[in-house]
Amino acid sequence: MNILIHDLNNEQFQSLFPEINNDIYIISDTGTIRHCIGCFGCWIKTPGKCVLKDGYNNIGKILSKAGKVTIISRCFYGCYSPFVKNILDQSILRRIIQKGECYMKICIINGSPKASESTSELLIGYLIPFIKENEVITYNVCEMGFSKTQFSLIQHSDVLIFAFPLYIDSINSALLRFLIELEKRGFGNKNINVYCIINNGFYEGWQNHVAADIMQNWCKAAGLTYGQTLGSASCEPVQSS
Ligand SMILES: Cc1cc2nc3c(=O)[nH]c(=O)nc-3n(C[C@H](O)[C@H](O)[C@H](O)COP(=O)(O)O)c2cc1C
């Protein structure tokens, strides 16, 4: 399907397109559109569909079927017009639906107390290019207080990936606190697969096995599916090289 998004008035449209092909789906301004309120409802509550019932809430589904998209817009400060930008903001939904199917929603949780200066962060950076076609969000457990919405995004993911360091043959206390909190809050999606990337300072990756067992126990307690753990070793040298 070809799509035309425009902000022309009737007169301008008629003069530009006196005969319009029926194959083209036209998205124009009917005056009812409401701006994205950033609630992530299209992710959590009604996947792939905007929660605002303004007549445009199915835009994601329509854009997901697009072959060619043509945009005609006035230019404001180098940006689109507010109506066209409104439609494009909603196109985030297009990434959630593709051919009627959902992309995976992947939450990566960096459980290193060093957060962005950590080996965990480095390993996450290596991973992301392989999964970038999905909806990926990354959180630093030890750096931020989580909002209800952020918890909600974690609770409604398809996949959780925990990347964290080995601390005294185990997991660190900040991550442990976070895991307990997550279990207490529960999960909207019980089919979440959990994977771990655990890195340590000594020479063998197998040293992470106790921490991996703890994560497996947490999955059981939280009712989630434990996938696999990748144990990575000698990580301080990796980080500094
Ligand atoms: C408190 C503490 C305890 C640690 N315990 C271990 C350990 O038991 N075995 C090990 O191999 N490395 C241990 N390490 C080293 C870290 O696992 C290693 O430095 C890791 O690469 C840090 O990862 P990050 O940068 O993602 O936080 C420990 C480090 C700290 C600070």
Q: Mind spelling out the 3-state secondary structure of 146-209?
A: CCHHHHHHHHCCCEEEEEEECECCECCHHHHHHHHHHHHHCCCCCCCEEEEEEECCCCCHHHHH
> Which atom number of ligand 1 is nearest to the Cα of residue 110?
26
Residue 43 reports pLDDT greater than 80? no
219-233, pLDDT tens digit by residue? 999 999 999 999 999
**pLDDT tens per residue, range 20-34:** 877 899 999 999 999
Q: Quote the mean pLDDT of the chain.
A: 88
CA–centroid distance, 194 to ligand 1, in Å, is 22
Residues 168-172: what's their mean pLDDT? 94
Atom of ligand 1 nearest to the CA of 122: 26
Residues with CB under 6 A from ligand 1: 112, 114, 118-120, 165-169, 199-202, 207, 235-236
For atom 28 of ligand 1, the residue with the nearest CA is 167
Average pLDDT for residues 140-152, to the nearest whole number?
Answer: 87
Q: Are 225 and 192 in contact (CB under 8 A)?
A: yes
Predicted pLDDT of residue 11? 95
* pTM of the predicted model as reported, rounded to 2 decimal places: 0.69
All structural domains of the chain: 2-98 (no CATH), 104-240 (3.40.50.360)
- φ and ψ at residue 60, rounded to 5 degrees: -60, -45
Of how many residues is the chain composed? 241
Output the CA–CA distances (angstroms, integers) from residue 196 to 23, 60, 205, in the order listed: 47, 32, 13
Percent of the chain with pLDDT over 70: 93
